[in-house]
Structure 1
Amino acid sequence: MRTTQQLSITLPKEMAELVRAKVASGEYASESEVIRDGLRTLAARDRAVEAWLQDQVLPAAAALEADPGRALTVEEVRAHLRRKRGVTNPA
């Protein structure tokens, strides 16, 4: 039984040139390998986002729902971000 399926895709010129350049450089053996690696990277990113949502966002949302008083105002968030970036004079 065949484990691959042939697809025909259309890419913008710049992307097609990038795929060809990856093969020409020897980084990949074929255009299909470039596309497969890109899809694996996309799938890994999707898994990482899903894990972040499950592990951090949902618990934070539940904690905020349980204790709404712990919420920060918009100005408190802005001040925190300014401090984190080392910005002393907000303009």
Structure 2
Amino acid sequence: MATMNVSLPDELKEFVEAQVDKHGYVSNSEFLRELIRREQDRTQLRELVVQGMESGIGSDMDENYFERLRARIRHSGAA
């Protein structure tokens, strides 16, 4: 694991320490790693949404669409 030093103003340092205490993180580093993971997830989701938007016109999301979706889920054994 690599080490990275981050300088924070006192106000942000106090915020990080408060979040560590409040949410039961083991360390400041664990809290910051969690924030970075969330940002990675958010970035990936944004990219997927953009890809979907650029992929063209989708299906009409009417009652028939949702019924077909429910049927697929029932037949997949996921329900």
TM-score normalised by the chain length of structure 2: 0.62
Structure with more contact order per residue of length (Cα contacts < 8 Å, sep ≥ 6): 2
Q: Number of paired residues?
A: 57
Q: Do residues 59 (structure 1) and 59 (structure 2) align?
A: no
Percent of aligned positions with the same letter in both sequences? 28
Match of 2:47 among 50, 59, 64: 50
**Structure 2 gaps, min length 5:** 58-79
Q: TM-score, normalised by structure 1?
A: 0.55
Q: 1:35 aligns with which of 32, 35, 38?
A: 32
- Tell me the CA shift for residue 6 of structure 1: 1.0
Q: Distance in 1 between matches of 2:23 and 2:48?
A: 34
- Which of 14, 20, 23 does residue 23 from structure 1 map onto? 20
RMSD: 1.7
Counterpart code for 1:10: S
CA distance in structure 1 between the aligned counterparts of 2:26 and 2:33, rounded to whole angstroms: 12
